[in-house]
Structure 1
Amino acid sequence: MNRKQWFSLHSWAGIKFSLLLFFISLTGTLAVFAYEIDWLLTPELRVEAPADGKERPAAELLAAAHTANPDWTVSSLNLGLPRFMAAEAIAQDKSGELQRIYINPYTAEVTGTAPWFNAHRFLRQTHRHLMLPLKWGLTIVGLLSIPLLLSFVSAFFIYKKWWRGFAKTPTSGDTPRRWWGDLHRWLGIWSLPFIGLIALTGLWYLVERWGGSAPAATSLLPEAAAQAQAQPQDAAKLIPAIEQALAQNPGFKLKRILVLKDNPLLLQGEDTAILVRDRANTIAVDANTQTLIGQVKGEQLSAHQRIAEAVDPLHFGTFAGYSSKIIWFIWGLAMTILSGSGVWLCALRMGSRRKGPNPRAAWRLIGHSRWLQLALVLASLGLTLPFFFA
């Protein structure tokens, strides 16, 4: 293929799917700081860390959630939030609805409750599957990784000596078209590693959805773990069970506790393996006998499992705390602008000096799929309304 053909492929991939790419990029970018957005919107989530920063034992926080809501069934406790946020328990109320219980990690006091659906869920679900049934919504979003990958590959053939573009910042230019073109190229070059990464991880999610998923890390637990049970409401047994398990694993940083009926107590968090989700490091505990009955470390996983566990941290930039999250947010913002600026460049090319850009012509250039893309975006937003007004 010559440069002109690569340019045509690049334009096709970027323009024909621009509406969905813009929406998915925007929601994914905001999802990087979804918990922080909820912190702004939910007073119960805000706590003030003491000078020494000392937290109460996780077992006490779990017991506090049980005590404050004795008629609710607590299923998990999330401890992996920033130090200015409360710990978060997920529970099912008497009507069967999921609720959030916030507990101050420094005092073990319950600060309040909130519905399950919040800004975090809105951003993650619209980004992941457009609020549609998971099988089809995730497939639609996953398929977008293909034009994204085509845009990534074609960029290397369009811009000769592309590496020189890192230092070539956009200038005022003699026309708006020149300035937008410079901006598009500059953002694209600086975002190349990110675009390639997002395209590959997005493709992996699609493969997982259609049969290529790896076995869960918990599948490596001994068979005896399947016979053990955690008693969701028996805090007296949960507290010593958690404390003894953590005492046997001093290097383990607890981030999440799962307390599910007819399952062992599962402690998940960070250990020595890098670039894995918290669930890759799991300790299984029998809450009745208060004994450790099995453990999985990230290093024990197969290559297939390690790849599967690394995809989420790489896709959302959560592997290095705020350092990586800020970088991922900036890159995501650049990718969102790229999705829109490509179409705007097309509008400028179709316009004239006298009449200016021609957005209508660019809108038509997207093709008939523009109506389907617009319908999917509107449907995604519309499907969230019942949750917000429940």
Structure 2
Amino acid sequence: MNKVLFKLHRLLALLICAPLLLISLSGSVLVYKHEIDALLMPERVRVAAVGEARQSFDVLLHAFNQAYPAYEVTGWQLFADPGRADLVYVMAHGGSEWSSLFVDQYRAKILSDPSPPKYYVTDLVREFHYTFLAGDIGLLLCAVVAVLLCIQALIGMILHRKFWKVLFTFRYRARPIIYFGDLHKLLGVVATPVLLVLGFTGAYWNINQLSYSLAKPVMLSAPYIVGERLYNPTLSIDALLRESQGRLVDFAPSFISLPSKPGYAINILGGVSGQNPLYSEFANSIRYDAQTGDFSGLRDIRESSVTAQMKNSFRRLHFGDFAGNWSRLIWAVLGFSPVMLIASGIAMWRIRRPQRLRQAEKRSNLAN
């Protein structure tokens, strides 16, 4: 049984090693996406927050609408870090694609022009991470790699089910085959739980996105072309925010979703103080009619089904930010571990290859 599993383990490693290397490298980079953005373009993503109070949303929206009258705001993201600029999603009149820009929330200043997806380096890396920049084919390939990674990790767990015997064994002065063998087993034991989480959540998202992408031509005969504001311009977003915080105790808004199609509502998403750390910052939502501003619904993740709560936890589990910088560091390091596992696996294969060739030659000579 172990011999069959070992061969399957090796075969799967050969099949997915190249794409998995690329996914692992890009994923570890994305754990620190904002920090990289702050190094590459600090004037866009960072703001001076000392001694300043953020402007009201009505003021911020007015400033944007004045600067870009041919665009409509469809989403406004706030961050817990006060030194991080707001991220605003917009759509141009006469189009159906979204763009994004950064806004200084303390001075109502537009920090960048509307830019399409994949415009910035880290956005390009993110797109590469789950599609290889190959559209639906890339989505499918990344989903397959994620599923095979889960299978590979499970096989590794079975092969090393008595992992406690090797957990603290690393004979770094031993012969190369023993050195690489110990390194491979130690890395596998430590990294497997994280790799299973990353593989499962990544496969789930890619399969969901692929299903949506394939069904989109059936659901929509033509994309909606933005031509006007789809919410009542006299509504006060600040008033809705105050009302939302009365609906949920200790509610902290993190995203304001404005209508991008006729009939859509205004949604205010956010977290609640003291909520499960695995729930995302968008876990709860409060919905308002886009024309009247009347309350029309609420989603409290704490009262949702177990399935909904599990799905909501996928975001933090995949990016590893549920316990601050420590969990992000662990996710970045262990997310990179497939590179080391593949390297140590190849090293063991190369060391053992001459021995296997000699054994094959010996069997051939005996047969003759």
TM-score, structure 1 as length reference: 0.74
1:123 aligns with 2:125: yes
Helix, strand or coil at the partner of 2:269: strand
Q: 1:61 maps to what in 2?
A: 60
Give the deviation of 1:187 after TM superposition: 1.5
Partner residue of 2:257?
258
**Which residue pairs with 2:350 in the alignment?**
347
1:1-390 to 2 correspondence within 5 Å?
1=1, 3-42=2-41, 43-50=43-50, 54-80=53-79, 82-93=81-92, 96=95, 98-113=98-113, 115-116=115-116, 117=118, 118-134=120-136, 136-159=137-160, 161-169=162-170, 171-175=172-176, 177-205=177-205, 208=208, 231=230, 234=233, 237-261=236-260, 262=262, 263-271=264-272, 273-274=275-276, 275-350=278-353
Tell me which residue corresponds to 2:362: none
CA displacement 1:109-130 (0-9 Å, x = unmatched): 3223352322332222222222
Structure 2 CA distance for partners of 1:187 and 1:83, relative to 1, 3 Å: farther
For the residue of structure 1 that corresponds to 2:183, the secondary structure is helix
2:58–2:236 contact (8 Å) kept in structure 1: no
Identity in percent:
22
2:44–2:102 contact (8 Å) kept in structure 1: yes
Give the residue type in structure 2 aligned to 1:124. R
Greater C-alpha Rg: 2
- 1:300/1:12 Cα in 2 relative to 1: closer, same or farther (>3 Å)? same
User: How far did 1:278 drift?
Assistant: 4.0
How many Å separate the matches in 1 of 2:239 and 2:75?
17
CA RMSD of aligned residues (A): 3.1
What is the aligned residue count? 332
* Structure 2: distance between partners of 1:265 and 1:30: 34
1:180/1:341 contact within 8 Å kept:
yes
Partner SS for 1:277: coil
Q: Any gaps of 5 or more consecutive residues in structure 2?
A: 213-227, 356-368
- Equivalent position SS for 2:179: helix
| Residue identity opposite 1:336 in structure 2 | V
Which ranges in structure 1 are unaligned for 5 or more consecutive residues? 213-228, 353-390
- The structure showing larger relative contact order (alpha-carbon pairs under 8 Å, at least 6 residues apart) is 1
Find the aligned partners of 1:235 and 1:87 in 2 and give their Cα distance.
23
Q: Which residue type is aligned with residue 156 of structure 1?
A: M
Deviations, residues 277-335 of structure 1 (Å, cap 9, x unaligned): 34441111235433322211112333332232222221222333333222211211223
Aligned mates of 1:156, 1:248 — CA distance in 2: 46
Pair 1:165–1:244, CA change in 2 (3 A): same
TM-score by length of 2: 0.78
Contact kept, 8 Å, 2:255 with 2:269, in 1: the verdict is yes
The answer to whether the 8 Å contact 1:245/1:285 transfers is no
Is contact 1:143–1:206 with CA below 8 Å preserved after alignment? no
Aligned partner letter, 1:67? Q
